[in-house]
């Protein structure tokens, strides 16, 4: 989507024109997903421009439409949660939204979207004094450092690192704490999908608690704190 490319490249004027065109076309030839994603990118563009209220409004519209059309688990759509995490006035709500964005963005085929969600989570958690914030910023840094042109993701991450006095350290080669079990590996293979843990349990014919236990175990062994980080680390290790 051209509008999204312009947003992430930091070209607001080009982005606005492209997103307006996408919204018009989505209405003329109904395309619910494009309509939702257009609002997501408008939210990202607004928050990066300093328009917190406008960003929150676009993010809420995106999520409301996604719920209505049944695509609220799509990786791009979940970035609306990341934007809400940055724009809400209630710290606890912000933390919950930012963590949800990072968790579900792990299914994104584009690492930079995950990087943005991780940067948002790190920024929000650090601002709230919650543990784990620096870990999310480090996860975002690993993605940004590997990207040839990280655009606004890199710019935002640098601001967040400076704001919270988190040093940008070069990414180190990840290591597996200990080998994954066969059952943990089975769960891992579903993490890049849009399936919920309950749906993964159904696919594997096990209980939800069993999936949660295996997910917790593989997170520990991968040295991560979220589904998105697990997918990223597993890809770095060649496990996915």
Domain ranges of the chain: 2-163, 182-236
Q: What is the pLDDT of residue 111?
A: 79
Q: Which CATH number fits domain 182-236: 2.60.40.10, 1.20.1440.230, 3.30.420.40, 1.10.10.10?
A: 1.10.10.10
Spatial separation of the C-alpha atoms in residues 86 and 240, rounded to whole Å: 31
Question: Which H or E run includes 141?
Answer: helix 133-146
**pLDDT value at residue 174:** 59
Residue 110 pLDDT class (50, 70, 90 cuts): low
| Phi and psi at residue 132, to the nearest 5° | 95, -15
State the pTM of this model. 0.71
pLDDT in tens, 117-135: 999 999 999 999 998 899 9
Q: How many CB atoms lie within 10 A of CB 11?
A: 17
Interatomic CA distance for residues 82 and 100, integer angstroms: 7
Contact indicator for 76, 102 with CB cutoff of 8 Å: no
The dotted CATH code for 2-163 is: 1.25.40
Rounded Cα distance, 161 and 119, in Å: 9
Contact between 73 and 196 (Cβ < 8 Å): yes
């Amino acid at each position: 989507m051209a509008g999204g490319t312009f947003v992430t490249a930091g070209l607001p004027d080009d982005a606005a024109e492209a997103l307006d065109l996408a919204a018009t076309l989505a209405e003329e030839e109904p395309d619910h997903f494009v309509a939702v994603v257009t609002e997501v990118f408008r939210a990202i563009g607004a928050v990066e421009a300093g328009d917190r209220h406008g960003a929150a409004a676009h993010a809420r519209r995106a999520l409301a439409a996604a719920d209505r059309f049944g695509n609220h688990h799509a990786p791009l759509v979940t970035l609306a949660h990341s934007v809400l995490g940055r724009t809400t006035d209630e710290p606890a709500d912000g933390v919950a939204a930012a963590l949800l964005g990072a968790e579900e963005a792990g299914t994104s085929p584009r690492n930079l979207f995950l990087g943005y969600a991780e940067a948002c989570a790190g920024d929000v958690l650090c601002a709230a004094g919650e543990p784990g914030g620096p870990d999310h910023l480090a996860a975002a840094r690993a993605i940004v450092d590997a990207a040839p042109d990280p655009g606004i993701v890199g710019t935002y991450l640098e601001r967040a690192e400076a704001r919270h006095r988190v040093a940008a350290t070069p990414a180190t080669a990840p290591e597996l704490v200990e080998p994954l079990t066969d059952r943990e590996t089975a769960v891992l293979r579903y993490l890049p999908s849009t399936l919920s843990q309950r749906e993964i349990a159904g696919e594997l014919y096990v209980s939800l608690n069993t999936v949660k236990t295996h997910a917790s175990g593989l997170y520990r062994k991968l040295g991560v704190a979220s589904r998105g980080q697990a997918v990223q680390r597993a890809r770095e290790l060649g496990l996915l």
